[in-house]
Every structure is written in C-alpha cells, then in structure tokens.
C-alpha cells in the first residue's frame, strides 16, 4: 500500500510538472506572437509615415516647379531674365587705381597731338619700324606736310607693328592727308603686323590704329603736329 501511494504521488507530481511546462511553452508562444504583431504594426506605421512624407515632398516639388516656371515666364515677359543672364555672364570690371588713371590721363593729354615720323631719302632701303608703344592717342592730329603719294622717285617703306595679339592694325599718315587708313597684314614669321607703302622723299608723319585706338611708335622720332 505504501508503494502504491508513492507511485500515485510520483505520477501526480510528474503530471503537474508536465502541465506546468506546457503552460510555460504556451505563454512563451503567445508572447512571441504578440511581439511579432507589435513589430508588424510598427512597420505598418513607419511605412505609412514614409509614404506621407514622400507624397508631401512630391507635392512641394510640384508646387516649387510650378512657381519657378511661373517666375521664369514673368521674367521672360518683362525682359528681366535676359538682363540677369547678361549680368551673370558679363566680365567683372577691373578697378583701376585712381593714381594710375591720373597718370595715364596726364600722359595722353601731354602727347595726344604727337605722331611718329619717318624720313625718306630718295630710293632708300625700306625702313623697319620698331616695336609698339604702350601710349595711346586720340585721332585728329594735323598734318606736318602736304600729301605726297603721287610724287616722283617713290621708295618702298615697310611699316611694322610688333603685337600679333592685336585684332586689327591700320596705318594712317599725313601722306594720305590723315583721311585714309590701310590695314596691316599679320606675319607670324616676324611676329609683327606689316605693310609696305611707296613714299616720296621727305619727312612723313604717321600713326597706327590698333583695335580702333590711335597709337604712335615711340621708338621713332615723334613730336606734335603743327
């Protein structure tokens, strides 16, 4: 009888243990399911939030695009867009110190009536002109002699301006009455603009017009026209 009681007690204890384990496993399973459901709900909320943000950004972008297009159309109609484009692409103006400006103005005022001169003696060898001057002068100098391009014993005189970076170089002088200009030709071999003119004997005054700026050759004899 005692042995039977012990067996029954053992069976009861074992059943209670197994039931307890079953209940614990069931609670663990339910807890996992609850966590999974919470994670899914959080993911759903996050997806909805992200979708709302995407829709809002798309709306803002479309409104911004419409606004920009409207502004551009208004600027095009008013001509403001073209002005802004010109302003953006316009080269920055370089500020020149006042002292430099004053010095240059004084130099121009002092020699604005000067011109270079060349002496032609009979059929002299063509005379090569020296390099360019850094001084600039305004047109309108008077002649120092009468035009003499049709006289006898003409001699070939080569005029040269050593500055190939210039866009255009022209020659004028009292031998043409200061009313005629002739274009010089760029010569890459000599690095200069050149022109050959037939002149009679005598003293002739001349100037170059470099990119529409009147200049004289400082290495030639020069002085004011009278």
The tens digit of pLDDT for each residue in 67-77 reads 877 776 776 66
pLDDT tens column, 168-219: 999 999 999 999 999 999 999 988 999 999 999 988 899 999 999 998 887 7
Residue count (the chain): 226
| Average predicted confidence (pLDDT) for the chain | 76
Helix 2-78 vs helix 80-89: angle between axes, to the nearest 10 degrees?
A: 100
**CA–CA separation, 97 vs 159, rounded Å?**
35
CB 174 within 8 A of CB 120: no
Does residue 85 have a pLDDT over 70?
A: no
HSE-up (13 A, CA, CB side) for residue 109: 6
Question: pLDDT value at position 1?
Answer: 82
pLDDT tens column, 12-53: 999 999 999 999 999 999 999 999 999 999 989 999 999 999
Instruction: Give the residue among 136, 110, 111, 115 at the shortest CA–CA distance from 205.
Output: 115
Whole-number Cα distances in Å, 90 to 82, 84, 86, 93: 12, 10, 6, 9
pLDDT average, residue stretch 137-160: 58
CB 193 within 8 A of CB 185: yes
Question: pLDDT value at position 67?
Answer: 80
pLDDT tens column, 5-22: 888 999 999 999 999 999
Does residue 117 have a pLDDT over 80?
A: no
Question: pLDDT value at position 112?
Answer: 45
**CA–CA separation, 172 vs 179, rounded Å?**
7
- Continuous segment of H or E residues that includes residue 85: helix 80-89
HEC secondary structure over 97-125: CHHHHHHHHHHHHHHCCEEEEEEECCCCC
pTM, 2 dp: 0.39
* 213: β partners: 210
Question: pLDDT value at position 134?
Answer: 38
């Amino acid at each position: 009888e005692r042995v039977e009681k012990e067996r029954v007690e053992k069976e009861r204890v074992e059943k209670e243990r197994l039931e307890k384990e079953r209940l614990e496993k069931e609670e663990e399973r339910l807890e996992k399911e609850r966590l999974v459901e919470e994670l899914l709900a959080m993911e759903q909320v996050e997806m909805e939030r992200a979708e709302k943000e995407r829709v809002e950004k798309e709306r803002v972008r479309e409104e911004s695009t419409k606004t920009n297009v409207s502004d551009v159309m208004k600027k095009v109609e008013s001509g403001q867009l073209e002005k802004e484009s010109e302003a953006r692409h316009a080269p920055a103006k370089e500020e020149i110190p006042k002292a430099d400006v004053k010095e240059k103005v004084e130099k121009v005022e002092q020699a604005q009536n000067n011109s270079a001169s060349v002496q032609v003696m009979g059929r002299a060898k063509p005379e090569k002109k020296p390099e360019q001057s850094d001084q600039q002068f305004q047109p309108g100098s008077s002649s120092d002699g009468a035009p003499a391009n049709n006289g006898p014993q003409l001699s070939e005189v080569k005029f040269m301006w050593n500055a190939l970076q210039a866009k255009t170089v022209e020659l004028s002088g009292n031998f043409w009455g200061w009313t005629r200009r002739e274009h010089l030709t760029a010569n890459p071999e000599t690095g200069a603009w050149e022109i050959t003119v037939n002149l009679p004997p005598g003293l002739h005054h001349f100037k170059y017009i470099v990119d529409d700026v009147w200049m004289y050759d400082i290495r030639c004899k020069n002085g004011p026209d009278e």
